[in-house]
Structure 1
Amino acid sequence: MSQPKGPFRLVTVNTAPERAKRLIGRVVEDVKDKYTIIHAGNADSIDQVKATVEEAKPNVLFTASMWTPEQAKEIIAIAKEIVPDLKTFSLPQGLQVEKGPDAVVEYIKENLPTLLD
């Protein structure tokens, strides 16, 4: 059996930190045979992105589905000033609201190989 890839240090940008932690916890558990992901922190506002990224030193950043595409771009720009080769992933706006947490978990899992491999 091959070793999981990683560890990847993940920062989420989500106005609901508890929900972010829960959802990412599910993803981490589901993919642990392939990837080792450590949820290193969450910024719950755009203003917190810089400090959170500086502190957590992530190599992966997810923006949650409450952000507009413009906000997600801004978040990623801020984060990449600190970690230029950061891998980033933005959930489509409204996914959580329209389809619920299971859809978010599935969407992340479907897209992880493209992001991390």
Structure 2
Amino acid sequence: MAPIGPFKLVTVNTAPDRAKRLVGRVVEDVKEKYTIIHAGNAPSIEDVQSVVEEHKPDILFTASMWTPEEAQKIISIAKGIVPELKTFSLPQGLQVEKGPDAVVEYIKEHLPGLLARAR
């Protein structure tokens, strides 16, 4: 069966290289089921609007450095541009407390439900 997608993903992460690495691991691990393209990263809340306008993603991930309030603000800005955008917020502190492997596993665990809503 061919993978579902492609889905364009934008991340919001103050560490763009780490975001790219972690998303790269997820993309590689799920490539049999889904085609995900990491289109871009917004390194700050102030950059969300321009990055979302530029890439018009299907999915937006907020990283674990954001508080729930910040994640909501990010999502609100992004959905103002792409109303049907699917969003996913990592729990605050996940990367710091459990490390990158936990982040990759958490995303992979929640990805099928998120992408099912994207179709």
Give the TM-score band, short-chain normalised.
over 0.9
d(CA) in 2 for partners of 1:61, 1:5: 17
d(CA) in 1 for partners of 2:112, 2:21: 21
d(CA) in 2 for partners of 1:22, 1:113: 20
Q: Which residue of 2 aligns with 1:30?
A: 29
CA drift of 1:91 comes to 0.1
Q: TM-score, normalised to structure 1's length?
A: 0.99
Q: Which residue of 1 aligns with 2:19?
A: 20
CA drift of 1:43 comes to 0.1
Q: Which residue of 1 aligns with 2:74?
A: 75
RMSD, aligned α-carbons: 0.3
Consecutive unaligned residues of structure 2, counting only runs of 5 or more, are none
d(CA) in 2 for partners of 1:5, 1:88: 18
Q: Which residue of 1 aligns with 2:65?
A: 66
Q: What secondary structure, in the 3-state scheme, does the structure 2 residue paired with 1:23 have?
A: helix
Q: Output aligned runs, 1:1-117, within 5 Å.
A: 2-117=1-116
Equivalent pairs counted in the alignment come to 116
d(CA) in 1 for partners of 2:45, 2:93: 18
Q: What secondary structure, in the 3-state scheme, does the structure 1 residue paired with 2:35 have?
A: strand
Consecutive unaligned residues of structure 1, counting only runs of 5 or more, are none
1:92-117 deviation line (CA, Å, top 9, x unaligned): 00000000000000000000011002
Q: TM-score, normalised to structure 2's length?
A: 0.97
Give 4+ residue runs of structure 1 displaced > 6 Å after superposition: none
Identity rate, percent: 78
d(CA) in 2 for partners of 1:59, 1:26: 19
CA drift of 1:63 comes to 0.1
Counterpart amino acid of 2:96?
A: V
Counterpart amino acid of 1:91?
A: L
Counterpart amino acid of 2:7?
A: F
